[in-house]
Structure 1
Amino acid sequence: MNPVQLALRVLRVDSRSRLSAVLTAAGVAVATALILFLATLPNATEARMQRSAWQEGSANPSGVTMASRDFFENETIVRLDVSGEAEPGKGVPDYPGPGEVLLSPRLAELAQQRPGGELADRFAGKVIGTIDEGSLKFPEQLVAVVGHPPGTLDAEKADLSGSAAVGNSDVMLDVLAGVGIVLLAIPSMVLVASAARLTAARRERRLAALRLAGATPGQVIGVVTAETAVAAVVGTVAGLLLSWPLRYLGMHIPWGDGTWLASDFTPSAVTVVLLGLLIPTLVVLAAVLGLRRVVRAPVGAAMSHARKRPKAWRLLALVAAGGFFLVGLASADQTGGMGLLLASLAAVLLSASIVGPWLTGVIGSLFAKMWRKPSVLLAGRRLSSDPQAAYRSVSGIVLAVFVGTMALTLLPSFETFAGGGRSFKDSVLYLDVPTAQAVDQEKRIKDQLASSGAGATVVRAERVLVQKAENDSASGFVINCQDAAAVTRLDVGDCAGPPSIRTPGAQELPSSGLRVQAYPTEGVSSVDELPTVPLPDGVPVRRLGGSQDPGLDSTVLIDPALVPGFGGQGESTLAVSPATDADREKVRTALAVALPGESFNSRELRLYDQQTILGDLKRVTAIGLGLTALLAGCSAAITAASSVVDRRRTFAALIAAGTPVRMLGRALRAEAALPAFVATIGAGAAGIAVAAGIFGLFGDDMPVVLSGWLFAPVVIGMVVAVIAAASSGPMLRRIGAERISEE
Structure 2
Amino acid sequence: MRMRQWADDLAMGVRFAFTGGREGWTRALLTAVGVGLGVALLLLTTAIPNALSDRNARSTARDDFTYSAKVLPKADNTLVIAGVDTTFHGKDVRGRLLEPEGARAPLPPGVGKFPAKGEMVASPTLKELLESGSGKLLRERIPYRITGTITKSGLVGPAELAYYAGGKGLEDHLAGGSVERISYFGPSPGHQQDKLDPILILLVMIIFIVLLLPVAVFIAAAVRFGGERRDRRLAALRLVGADGRMTRRIAGGEALAGALLGLVFGTGFFLLGRQLAALLHVRNISVFSSDLNPSPALAVLVAVAVPTAAVLVTLFALRGVVIEPLGVVRAAKPPRRRLWWRLLLPVGGLALLYPMIGQGNTNGEFNQWMVIGGTVLLLIGVTALLPWVVEAVVARMDAGAVSWQLAVRRLQLSSGTAARMVNGIAVAVAGAIALQMLFAGIEHDYTKSTGNDVNRAQLEVGLRGDVQPTEAGRQLAKIEGVRRASAVSMGSAGDRAKEPENTLEVAVGSCTELREVARLASCRDGDVFQILGGEYDSESKKLTKSGGTLYFDPEYTGSSAHTVAWKVPSGIKTAGQREDPTGYARSGLLLTSGALPKAAAAGLYQRVFVSLDPSVPDAQDHARNTAARLDPLADVFTLAASEQSLQFRSIRNGLFVGATCVLVLIGASLLVSQLEQLRERKKLLSSLVAFGTRRRTLSLSVLWQTAIPIALGLLLASAVGLTLGAVLLKMVDASVSVDWSSVLSMTAIGAGVVLVVTLLSLPPLLRLMRPDGLRTE
Using the size of structure 2 for normalisation, the TM-score is: 0.65
Range with greater deviation from structure 2 (43-52 or 87-96): 87-96
More helix by share: 1
* Shift, 1:577, TM fit: 0.9
Aligned AA for 1:392? Answer: R
* Shift, 1:355, TM fit: 0.7
Which residue of the partner structure matches residue 103 of structure 1? 121
Whether the 8 Å CA contact 1:101–1:127 is kept in 2: the answer is yes
Consecutive unaligned residues in structure 2, runs of 5 or more = 1-7, 67-71, 477-485, 494-503, 524-528, 544-572, 592-602, 612-619
1:76 aligns with 2:102: no
* Shift, 1:254, TM fit: 1.7
Range with greater deviation from structure 2 (130-139 or 47-56): 130-139
Tell me, in whole angstroms, the C-alpha distance in 1 between the residues paired with 2:324 and 2:107.
Answer: 67
Aligned AA for 2:96? Answer: R
* Shift, 1:32, TM fit: 1.8
Aligned AA for 1:630? Answer: G
1:672 to 694, 701, 706: 706
Tell me, in whole angstroms, the C-alpha distance in 1 between the residues paired with 2:324 and 2:76.
Answer: 79
Whether the 8 Å CA contact 2:505–2:587 is kept in 1: the answer is yes
* Shift, 1:359, TM fit: 0.9
* Shift, 1:363, TM fit: 0.4
* Shift, 1:673, TM fit: 3.1
1:421 aligns with 2:450: yes
Tell me, in whole angstroms, the C-alpha distance in 2 between the residues paired with 1:191 and 1:285.
Answer: 15
For residues 158 and 3 of structure 1, do their structure 2 counterparts lie closer, same or farther at Cα, with a shift above 3 Å needed?
closer
Range with greater deviation from structure 2 (25-34 or 180-189): 180-189
* Shift, 1:686, TM fit: 4.0
Which residue of the partner structure matches residue 379 of structure 2? 349
* Shift, 1:40, TM fit: 1.8
Tell me, in whole angstroms, the C-alpha distance in 2 between the residues paired with 1:265 and 1:343.
Answer: 28
Tell me, in whole angstroms, the C-alpha distance in 1 between the residues paired with 2:151 and 2:123.
Answer: 8
Tell me, in whole angstroms, the C-alpha distance in 2 between the residues paired with 1:405 and 1:45.
Answer: 26
CA shift digits 1:99-132 (9 cap, x unpaired) = 89863346788999889995458xxxx9986543
For residues 326 and 379 of structure 1, do their structure 2 counterparts lie closer, same or farther at Cα, with a shift above 3 Å needed?
farther
Q: RMSD of the TM alignment (CA)?
A: 6.1
For residues 675 and 233 of structure 1, do their structure 2 counterparts lie closer, same or farther at Cα, with a shift above 3 Å needed?
closer
* Shift, 1:312, TM fit: 2.3
User: Counterpart of 2:84 in 1: which secondary structure?
Assistant: strand
* Shift, 1:20, TM fit: 1.1
Tell me, in whole angstroms, the C-alpha distance in 2 between the residues paired with 1:339 and 1:148.
Answer: 57
* Shift, 1:353, TM fit: 0.7
1:262 to 272, 283, 289: 289
Whether the 8 Å CA contact 2:117–2:165 is kept in 1: the answer is no
For residues 176 and 266 of structure 1, do their structure 2 counterparts lie closer, same or farther at Cα, with a shift above 3 Å needed?
farther
Which residue of the partner structure matches residue 300 of structure 2? 273
**Aligned residue-pair number:** 661
Whether the 8 Å CA contact 2:360–2:366 is kept in 1: the answer is yes
Tell me, in whole angstroms, the C-alpha distance in 2 between the residues paired with 1:483 and 1:308.
Answer: 88
1:603 aligns with 2:639: yes
CA shift digits 1:179-211 (9 cap, x unpaired) = 776455444455545544343123224435545
For residues 159 and 630 of structure 1, do their structure 2 counterparts lie closer, same or farther at Cα, with a shift above 3 Å needed?
same
Range with greater deviation from structure 2 (601-610 or 241-250): 601-610
Whether the 8 Å CA contact 1:39–1:181 is kept in 2: the answer is no
For residues 13 and 715 of structure 1, do their structure 2 counterparts lie closer, same or farther at Cα, with a shift above 3 Å needed?
closer
Which residue of the partner structure matches residue 437 of structure 1? none
For residues 391 and 64 of structure 1, do their structure 2 counterparts lie closer, same or farther at Cα, with a shift above 3 Å needed?
same
Aligned AA for 1:631? Answer: A
* Shift, 1:147, TM fit: 7.9
Which residue of the partner structure matches residue 310 of structure 2? 283
Which residue of the partner structure matches residue 664 of structure 2? 627
Aligned AA for 1:136? Answer: L
Which residue of the partner structure matches residue 536 of structure 1? none
Tell me, in whole angstroms, the C-alpha distance in 1 between the residues paired with 2:266 and 2:44.
Answer: 10
Range with greater deviation from structure 2 (152-161 or 686-695): 152-161
1:577 aligns with 2:608: yes
Tell me, in whole angstroms, the C-alpha distance in 2 between the residues paired with 1:680 and 1:633.
Answer: 15
For residues 450 and 229 of structure 1, do their structure 2 counterparts lie closer, same or farther at Cα, with a shift above 3 Å needed?
same
Percent identical: 19
1:18 aligns with 2:47: no
Which residue of the partner structure matches residue 203 of structure 1? 230
Which residue of the partner structure matches residue 567 of structure 1? none
Whether the 8 Å CA contact 2:9–2:253 is kept in 1: the answer is no
User: Counterpart of 2:280 in 1: which secondary structure?
Assistant: coil
- Map 1:7-46 → 2, pairs under 5 A: 7-9=14-16, 11-46=18-53
Tell me, in whole angstroms, the C-alpha distance in 1 between the residues paired with 2:538 and 2:325.
Answer: 92
User: Counterpart of 2:458 in 1: which secondary structure?
Assistant: coil
CA shift digits 1:402-458 (9 cap, x unpaired) = 46656877898999888843547431135xxxxxxxxxxx98454799799966824
* Shift, 1:354, TM fit: 0.4
User: Counterpart of 1:627 in 2: which secondary structure?
Assistant: helix
Which residue of the partner structure matches residue 248 of structure 1? 275
Range with greater deviation from structure 2 (617-626 or 604-613): 604-613
- Map 1:333-412 → 2, pairs under 5 A: 334-335=364-365, 344-368=374-398, 371=399, 380=408, 383-384=411-412, 386-399=414-427, 401-402=429-430
Which residue of the partner structure matches residue 343 of structure 2? 315
For residues 726 and 607 of structure 1, do their structure 2 counterparts lie closer, same or farther at Cα, with a shift above 3 Å needed?
same
- Map 1:105-124 → 2, pairs under 5 A: 105=123, 118-119=141-142
User: Counterpart of 2:421 in 1: which secondary structure?
Assistant: helix
* Shift, 1:317, TM fit: 2.5
* Shift, 1:33, TM fit: 1.8
- Map 1:135-150 → 2, pairs under 5 A: 135-139=154-158, 140-144=160-164
Whether the 8 Å CA contact 2:488–2:507 is kept in 1: the answer is no
Whether the 8 Å CA contact 2:379–2:427 is kept in 1: the answer is yes
Which residue of the partner structure matches residue 472 of structure 1? none
1:134 aligns with 2:138: no
* Shift, 1:25, TM fit: 0.9
Whether the 8 Å CA contact 1:102–1:144 is kept in 2: the answer is yes
- Map 1:521-600 → 2, pairs under 5 A: 556-558=585-587, 560=589, 576-577=607-608, 582=622, 584-588=624-628
Which residue of the partner structure matches residue 595 of structure 2? none
Tell me, in whole angstroms, the C-alpha distance in 1 between the residues paired with 2:410 and 2:130.
Answer: 70
Tell me, in whole angstroms, the C-alpha distance in 2 between the residues paired with 1:484 and 1:307.
Answer: 88
Whether the 8 Å CA contact 1:99–1:148 is kept in 2: the answer is yes
Aligned AA for 1:69? Answer: G
Tell me, in whole angstroms, the C-alpha distance in 2 between the residues paired with 1:663 and 1:117.
Answer: 63
Which residue of the partner structure matches residue 254 of structure 2? 227
Whether the 8 Å CA contact 1:357–1:391 is kept in 2: the answer is yes
User: Counterpart of 2:752 in 1: which secondary structure?
Assistant: helix
1:640 aligns with 2:672: no
Whether the 8 Å CA contact 1:103–1:127 is kept in 2: the answer is yes
Tell me, in whole angstroms, the C-alpha distance in 2 between the residues paired with 1:706 and 1:395.
Answer: 23
Aligned AA for 1:17? Answer: G
Whether the 8 Å CA contact 1:42–1:174 is kept in 2: the answer is no
Tell me, in whole angstroms, the C-alpha distance in 1 between the residues paired with 2:181 and 2:303.
Answer: 50
1:238 to 265, 272, 295: 265
Which residue of the partner structure matches residue 470 of structure 1? none
CA shift digits 1:38-77 (9 cap, x unpaired) = 3222222222222233321358998456766322344333
Range with greater deviation from structure 2 (16-25 or 493-502): 493-502
Using the size of structure 1 for normalisation, the TM-score is: 0.67
Consecutive unaligned residues in structure 1, runs of 5 or more = 431-441, 464-476, 504-508, 519-538, 563-571
Range with greater deviation from structure 2 (289-298 or 263-272): 289-298
Tell me, in whole angstroms, the C-alpha distance in 2 between the residues paired with 1:421 and 1:3.
Answer: 65
